[in-house]
Chain A
Amino acid sequence: MNGVFAKRRQHLLALKAMRDGQSSHLARSAPCPRCGETVPRRELVQARHVCPKCGYHYPIGAYHRLSLLLDAGSFRELDERLTSRDPFHFPGYAGKLDESRARTGLSEAVVTAVGAVEGRKTAVGVLDSRFFMGSMSAAVGEKVTRLIEYAGKNKLPLILFSASGGARMQEGILSLMQMAKTAAALERFSRKGGFYISVLTDPTTGGVTASFASLGDITLAEPGALVGFAGPRVIQQTIGQTLPEGFQRAEYLEEHGFVDAVVPRAQMRETLARLLKLHGKGEKP
């Protein structure tokens, strides 16, 4: 019986991951935004959307990422229907939400789930930059907080993949308060011995950087990911100078002491599994 459900779950994730690929700009072969090389689409998919020529890590959809990470049949989504409610009736917001949902197949900018990473049961959240730039709505804050609480209650390790433009402007102050909410939940989780790995992906900025993304016991980053509090455009406007080469990239953060390791996508799953093992987390069946 369990096998049947696992198989169905696997199919569901595979379908959703496929939709990620189709609905993104990656559907047709296009030149790499960094090196300009046009790589055949099939080759790009095989390389997990990393340019074989220059190593550029394309942004990927949340379900796609989960399908690369989790053991077959282990994916179970949490709070799937939880979504934004336009708390301040912001002009044009409701329509834009509908449009984003239809375009991406996502209900919000984060997907939260439980699954297994090389046999270790884990709570995982993945932000998706195709949905309002992965910005922090009240629903994103709520889903992340519920995931943290779920991990705490079930004594699971926690992995969050961040990708965010920052606050959801249309939700104003309630967006801001999600920073305090998620940080508070992580503090509780941490004090009870919970193990949290934060993975920074391109781009992670603003309120997400200044809350849960920066509070990992271990912090990893994908190569070349832009990570910062203020965005480069704002900084450039403020100081009126050109920014240093490589500024706010994953490697820069590693050099400045804010990232444990820069991990290429091809090694992410193995690295996460090793970290779970090293911390003795995630029950082995």
Chain B
Amino acid sequence: MSGRTAAERVALARHPGRPGTADYIAALCTDFFEQKGDRQCREDPAILGGVALFHGRPVTVLGHRKGKNLEENLKCNFGMPGPEGYRKARRMMEQAEKFRRPIFTFLDTPGAYPGVEAEARGQGEAIARNLAVMSALTVPVICVVTGEGNSGGALAIGVGNTVLMLENAVYSVLSPEGFASILWKDAARAEEACGIMKLTAEDLLAAGVIDGILPEPEGGAHTAPQSVFRTVDEALCRALEGWKRQSGSFLAAQRYKKFRAMGDPAGKRERA
């Protein structure tokens, strides 16, 4: 693994040419049928998802969508979903459970959208409900952080049995700009924030938050997307192979235990 700084990885994770959810779905799946709308108020293109075949087997795939050019960026709100996007994701995941399909999610967002309408329609409630529902799903859930996974806006589709990260992807409580602005009231110190935020794949593996790191080509995922697709394809196959023989209740229990164990500051000593 190359010795890049955290700030360099953040830049790579945000590279405009970096493969996104739409690319992964196109490369890894066939017969994709996109599902739109939250059935309550709106279609939110910042989340892309639907049903597809993965090696001939039906799966539900979904992820954040940033768009490939300015027009698409604007339409997708630069990958920042509103509550409608999260509710659409929940609808797809509940259907996946109903039809016993495994779920793949791809995380790549600057965060949930901070806007007046998003708040009026319950951004917090939408994310909270996703976390609760995902935690108890009885089908395999495999998540891949492909770009930048920022804040609750990323985690809202990230409660998986297996959580993987691309080598140059980052995953953190907030964007480095937001972090710097909260801690030091100065968003311009974002690069400094990157250094202390522990947001690289290696940091997260060490903290027990992710299960594995997927290597990228030397120059980053955008320099040789085909090889990244192969890597992700193999990783998804491997993870799925491990979960497919498990019962629904085992899968829900495994996911619960996994997240239950994160950040117990007491450890065993005070628990006893």
Q: Which of B115, B123, B259 contacts A177 (CB 8 A)?
A: B259
Contact flags B104-135 to A (C-beta < 8 A → 1, else 0): 00000000111110111111110111011111
The reply on B70 being an interface residue by CB < 8 A is no
List A residues 197-226 near B (Cβ within 8 Å): 206-207, 209-215
Contact, CB under 8 Å: B114 / A173: no
Contact, CB under 8 Å: B263 / A171: yes
Q: Which of A83, A187, A230, A243 contacts B135 (CB 8 A)?
A: A187
Interface size class of B (residues with CB under 8 A): 35 or more
The reply on B152 being an interface residue by CB < 8 A is yes
Contact, CB under 8 Å: B116 / A176: no
Q: How far is the CA of A258 from the CA of B126 in the complex (A)?
A: 11
Q: With A181-B260, A184-B259, A235-B119 in contact, do A142 and B266 touch (Cβ < 8 Å)?
A: yes
Chain B residues, Cβ within 8 Å of A239? 115-116
| Stretch from A23-31, A38-46, A85-93, A275-283 at the B interface | A85-93
The reply on B183 being an interface residue by CB < 8 A is yes
Contact, CB under 8 Å: A188 / B256: yes
The reply on B74 being an interface residue by CB < 8 A is no
Contact, CB under 8 Å: B132 / A183: yes
The reply on A284 being an interface residue by CB < 8 A is no
Shortest CB–CB separation between residue B70 and chain A, in angstroms?
A: 18
Q: How far is the CA of A185 from the CA of B198 in the complex (A)?
A: 26
Q: Which of B113, B128, B135, B259 contacts A210 (CB 8 A)?
A: B128
Contact, CB under 8 Å: B182 / A174: no
Contact, CB under 8 Å: A187 / B262: no
Contact, CB under 8 Å: B265 / A183: no
Contact, CB under 8 Å: B263 / A87: yes
Contact, CB under 8 Å: B128 / A176: no
Residue of B113, B132, B136, B179 with most partner-chain A CB within 10 A: B132
Contact, CB under 8 Å: A173 / B198: yes
Shortest CB–CB separation between residue B252 and chain A, in angstroms?
A: 9
Which residue from chain A places its CB closest to the CB of B111 in the assembled complex?
A230
Which residue from chain B places its CB closest to the CB of A86 in the assembled complex?
B265
Number of interface residues of A (CB under 8 A): 62
Contact, CB under 8 Å: A142 / B265: yes
Contact, CB under 8 Å: B136 / A187: yes
Contact, CB under 8 Å: A248 / B119: yes
Chain B residues, Cβ within 8 Å of A209? 124, 128
The reply on B173 being an interface residue by CB < 8 A is yes
The reply on A104 being an interface residue by CB < 8 A is no
Contact, CB under 8 Å: B124 / A228: yes
Chain A residues, Cβ within 8 Å of B264? 138, 142
Chain A residues, Cβ within 8 Å of B129? 214-215
Chain B residues, Cβ within 8 Å of A145? 260
Which residue from chain A places its CB closest to the CB of B117 in the assembled complex?
A239
Contact, CB under 8 Å: B136 / A179: no
Q: With A177-B209, A230-B123 in contact, do A184 and B115 touch (Cβ < 8 Å)?
A: no
Q: Which of A84, A172, A212, A257 contacts B128 (CB 8 A)?
A: A212
Contact, CB under 8 Å: A141 / B114: no
The reply on A247 being an interface residue by CB < 8 A is yes
Contact, CB under 8 Å: A82 / B270: yes
The reply on A67 being an interface residue by CB < 8 A is no
Task: Given contacts A186-B132, A210-B112, A227-B124, list 9 more A-B pairs with CB under 8 A.
Answer: A79-B266, A138-B263, A142-B265, A173-B204, A174-B262, A177-B259, A179-B127, A185-B260, A215-B132
Residues of A within 8 A of B (CB): 79, 81-85, 87-88, 90-91, 137-139, 141-142, 145, 167, 169, 171-181, 183-188, 190-191, 206-207, 209-215, 227-230, 234-235, 238-239, 243-244, 247-248, 252, 256-258
Residues of B within 8 A of A (CB): 112-116, 118-125, 127-129, 131-136, 151-152, 155-156, 158-159, 171-174, 178-179, 182-183, 196-199, 203-204, 207, 209, 255-256, 259-260, 262-266, 270
A–B complex contacts, Cβ < 8 Å, 11 sampled? A90-B196, A142-B265, A142-B266, A169-B179, A169-B182, A185-B260, A228-B123, A228-B124, A230-B118, A235-B114, A238-B115
